[in-house]
Chains A and B, each alone.
Chain A
Amino acid sequence: MSDYNFAYLDEQTKRMIRRAILKALAIPGYQVPFASREMPMPYGWGTGGVQLTAACLVPEDRLKVIDQGADDTTNAVSIRKFFQRTAGVDVTTDTTEATLIQTRHRIPETPLTQGQILVYQVPIPEPLRFLEPRETETRKMHELEEYGLMHVKLYEDIARHGQIATSYDYPVKVEGRYVMDPSPIPKFDNPKLSDSPAIQLFGAGREQRIYALPPYTQVVSLDFEDHPFDPSKADHDCDLCGASASYLDEVITDDQGGRMFVCSDTDYCTTRTGMGHRGRLAEDAA
């Protein structure tokens, strides 16, 4: 791929994106408009994340790409391959080894460390979008810190269902100022957003927005005193590695109602299995 610049984008474009990233880091949770480029993968398939990754990558980086927590889902494979071809960087599936992790819909179970960058792919960056479809209006609402509508929505959930009926894409407030969309991660992952030693960058290509959480930023999931936030998950242990505190995928194993639960974070699960942990259905379980 010698026809293209390192990591595909030209240097001017990367500079434009880096400026937006710096602004986003300076105003945590604020959505910075940027001149998103057309990428060779479709909008909605991670173009925002890919542009952030392209702008951040240096030749010494070790890149990890996950989708639904797994390194081997097709879109993760496709994006990882893209950067192997266009940037020639080393890749890894090991969360601790990676310097930059691009993710869709999950935060790795293994705690991140200083110096790591976590890049999120974001479909709809505006947490208020489904309450107010107009960008001109929602920007004004953020300006004025007018978040009453969001609380009304959460309250209506409680009135109707007895609890807040949002299970992923659960809105958060950043450093007491901006309400932010954490991307469609399960709300189980929300607590990991706060006080993380890593840099967290969010890219929405189609919607032309970048936002960020600098390390050790306070991120609070919206709730009410009498209905506190509850980061729930399936009430099981992983059937492969026995983990009790990781987010689980439900796998249908037959047409008789048989099912098993496995870690959605494949690296976490294989690492634990390698360390000798065994779950209910592991092959060599006692």
Chain B
Amino acid sequence: MYVAVKGGERAIDNAHAWLAEERRGDPDLPLMSVAQIRAQMTLAVNRVMAEGSLYDPDLAALAIRQARGDLIEAVFLIRAYRTTLPRLGASVPLDTGAMAVDRRVSATFKDLPGGQVLGPTFDYTHRLLDFAEAAAVDPAPLAQPDPAPLPHVTQILDRDGLIEPIAPDDSPAPDLTREPLELPACRALRLQALARGDEGFLLSLAYSTQRGYGRTHAFVGELRIGRVAVEMEIPELGFSIEIGEIELTECETVNQFKGSRLEPAQFTRGYGLVPGQSERKAIAMSLVDRALRWQELGEDFTGAPAQDAEFVLSHCDNIQATGFLEHIKLPHYVDFQAELELVRRLRADAHTALQEAAE
């Protein structure tokens, strides 16, 4: 005898208990500490901080462990926690020119003031599985670099009028997490959305511009990674004080020029800025930013996905995307039942019509 399905609550409790067991894995192995994840899975921690829009390596490391290493799930945990935090204010604009640089490379000039600094990069490693790494051999300690402020490459181009000037803008930055996204979105808002957007999505979009879908001929003018002081204006004091330091990756691209016989040619800019060391994402972001600027730069809309702000901004958030995608595994009995009835009725109608036609 059938009775209506019951037991959802017990099923959920059991599923959670099983999940906890799977998460812990083999109990004979020691539990990974949050500090270990933070120290040794830094790039995963950085990605979770960037897409979670919350700069806190300890929480990001905790989220990664809780999410069993599923980074989008970890981003989700961070976002849900971030929701509950008050917004205290906005910092004064970060001065990335004063960045204490770990890495700084330019693809447009062989040498430049401050030089090329490779820093801790995978770039010239041979991707050979390192069996010494498996044996966990500690590397020899290095001398700490002495960071000195370095001028931006685009400043050098700007001085000669070779790149489009960007007027300083003191209007308060919009906050995507406090106001609903309205379209068309200004560049600041677009960049904000890209900065917390999914790395994979931005990578593919940027790649598509390189393959002709909204081509912008980008050069990496400069890519820099390092720590920057965060300052806040304290109204009671009347001046700003440093409240901490965060690691950032900044990418400035130098792109296809605009100009005419009357207007001298100038390079144009694309910009990417991501919390933590997140080079791939910063470069991708700057390419997508540049592609999205087609209108203000008087270019044609070729229908390329990367040019379409509404398309890009509506689909770059992986928490929105994964939630909606996965919701289709929730029950849809009611809607399916309605469709079932409809299809049966349509089939019956067609059957009758066929019979009538045959007679």
A-to-B contact residues, CB < 8 Å: 4-5, 8-10, 12-13, 33-40, 42-45, 47, 67-70, 72-78, 81, 104-106, 123, 134-136, 161-163, 165, 167-169, 184-188, 206, 208, 232-234, 240, 247-251, 253, 260, 262, 264, 266, 269, 281, 283
Contacts A44-B327, A123-B327, A135-B183 given; indicate if A186 touches B334 (C-beta within 8 A): yes
Q: At the interface, yes or no: B300 with Cβ under 8 Å from chain A? A: no
A sample of 5 inter-chain contacts (CB < 8 A) reads A34-B180, A73-B331, A74-B331, A105-B334, A167-B338
From B22-30, B159-167, B341-349, the one touching the partner chain is: B341-349
Query: In the assembled complex, how far is the CB of residue A73 from the closest CB belonging to chain B, in whole angstroms?
Result: 6
Cβ A38 vs Cβ B310 within 8 A: no
Query: In the assembled complex, how far is the CB of residue A270 from the closest CB belonging to chain B, in whole angstroms?
Result: 8
Q: Which of B2, B5, B349 has the most CB of A within 10 A?
A: B2
Nearest A residue to B330, CB-CB? A75
From B62-70, B76-84, B122-130, B246-254, the one touching the partner chain is: B76-84
User: Which B residues are CB-close (under 8 A) to A34?
Assistant: 180
Partner of B4, one of A123, A206, A240: A240
Q: At the interface, yes or no: B298 with Cβ under 8 Å from chain A? A: no
In angstroms, Cα B182 to Cα A135, docked, is: 9
Q: Which residues of B from 1 to 38 have beta carbons under 8 Å from A?
A: 1-2, 4-9, 11-12
User: Which A residues are CB-close (under 8 A) to B5?
Assistant: 70, 72
In angstroms, Cα B182 to Cα A33, docked, is: 8
Q: Which residues of B from 260 to 276 have beta carbons under 8 Å from A?
A: none
User: Which A residues are CB-close (under 8 A) to B333?
Assistant: 68, 249, 264
Cβ B335 vs Cβ A168 within 8 A: yes
Partner of B82, one of A38, A104, A167: A38
Nearest B residue to A252, CB-CB? B2
In angstroms, Cα B334 to Cα A10, docked, is: 34
Contacts A136-B310, A233-B341 given; indicate if A249 touches B319 (C-beta within 8 A): no
Contacts A77-B12, A78-B12, A134-B310 given; indicate if A260 touches B2 (C-beta within 8 A): yes
In angstroms, Cα B11 to Cα A105, docked, is: 22
Cβ A69 vs Cβ B2 within 8 A: no
Contacts A74-B11, A74-B12, A78-B12 given; indicate if A206 touches B2 (C-beta within 8 A): no
User: Which B residues are CB-close (under 8 A) to A135?
Assistant: 183, 310, 314
User: Which A residues are CB-close (under 8 A) to B335?
Assistant: 105, 167-169, 184, 186
Cβ B331 vs Cβ A75 within 8 A: yes
Which A-B residue pairs are the 5 nearest by beta carbons?
A43-B323, A44-B327, A42-B323, A167-B338, A44-B324
In angstroms, Cα B178 to Cα A162, docked, is: 47
Cβ B1 vs Cβ A42 within 8 A: no
Nearest A residue to B179, CB-CB? A35
Q: At the interface, yes or no: B108 with Cβ under 8 Å from chain A? A: no
Nearest A residue to B183, CB-CB? A136
Query: In the assembled complex, how far is the CB of residue A221 from the closest CB belonging to chain B, in whole angstroms?
Result: 14
User: Which A residues are CB-close (under 8 A) to B232?
Assistant: none
User: Which B residues are CB-close (under 8 A) to A283?
Assistant: 1
Main secondary structure of the interface of A (DSSP, over half): loop
User: Which B residues are CB-close (under 8 A) to A260?
Assistant: 2
User: Which A residues are CB-close (under 8 A) to B155?
Assistant: none
Query: In the assembled complex, how far is the CB of residue A274 from the closest CB belonging to chain B, in whole angstroms?
Result: 14
In angstroms, Cα B346 to Cα A52, docked, is: 38
Cβ B338 vs Cβ A168 within 8 A: yes
In angstroms, Cα B341 to Cα A281, docked, is: 21
Q: Which residues of B from 75 to 97 have beta carbons under 8 Å from A?
A: 76, 79-80, 82-84, 86
In angstroms, Cα B310 to Cα A51, docked, is: 25
Cβ A43 vs Cβ B320 within 8 A: yes
In angstroms, Cα B4 to Cα A269, docked, is: 10
Q: At the interface, yes or no: B245 with Cβ under 8 Å from chain A? A: no
Nearest A residue to B77, CB-CB? A40
Cβ B80 vs Cβ A39 within 8 A: yes
In angstroms, Cα B180 to Cα A178, docked, is: 21
Query: In the assembled complex, how far is the CB of residue A4 from the closest CB belonging to chain B, in whole angstroms?
Result: 6
Cβ A234 vs Cβ B341 within 8 A: yes
Cβ B341 vs Cβ A38 within 8 A: no
Partner of A186, one of B86, B325, B337: B337
User: Which B residues are CB-close (under 8 A) to A33?
Assistant: 180, 182
Cβ A206 vs Cβ B8 within 8 A: no
Nearest B residue to A3, CB-CB? B84
Cβ A42 vs Cβ B327 within 8 A: yes
Cβ A165 vs Cβ B2 within 8 A: no
In angstroms, Cα B301 to Cα A218, docked, is: 43
User: Which A residues are CB-close (under 8 A) to B1?
Assistant: 281, 283
User: Which B residues are CB-close (under 8 A) to A13?
Assistant: 83
Cβ B349 vs Cβ A186 within 8 A: no
Q: Which of B11, B339, B342, B349 has the most CB of A within 10 A?
A: B342
Q: At the interface, yes or no: B326 with Cβ under 8 Å from chain A? A: yes
Cβ A77 vs Cβ B8 within 8 A: yes
Task: Name 20 extra pairs, CB < 8 A, besides A70-B5, A167-B341.
Answer: A10-B86, A35-B177, A39-B80, A39-B83, A68-B333, A68-B334, A72-B9, A81-B9, A105-B332, A105-B334, A123-B324, A135-B310, A163-B345, A163-B346, A186-B335, A187-B338, A206-B320, A249-B337, A251-B2, A281-B1
User: Which B residues are CB-close (under 8 A) to A240?
Assistant: 4
Contacts A4-B84, A73-B8, A206-B320 given; indicate if A186 touches B331 (C-beta within 8 A): no
In angstroms, Cα B84 to Cα A77, docked, is: 23
User: Which A residues are CB-close (under 8 A) to B178?
Assistant: 35
User: Which B residues are CB-close (under 8 A) to A35?
Assistant: 177-180
Q: At the interface, yes or no: B156 with Cβ under 8 Å from chain A? A: no
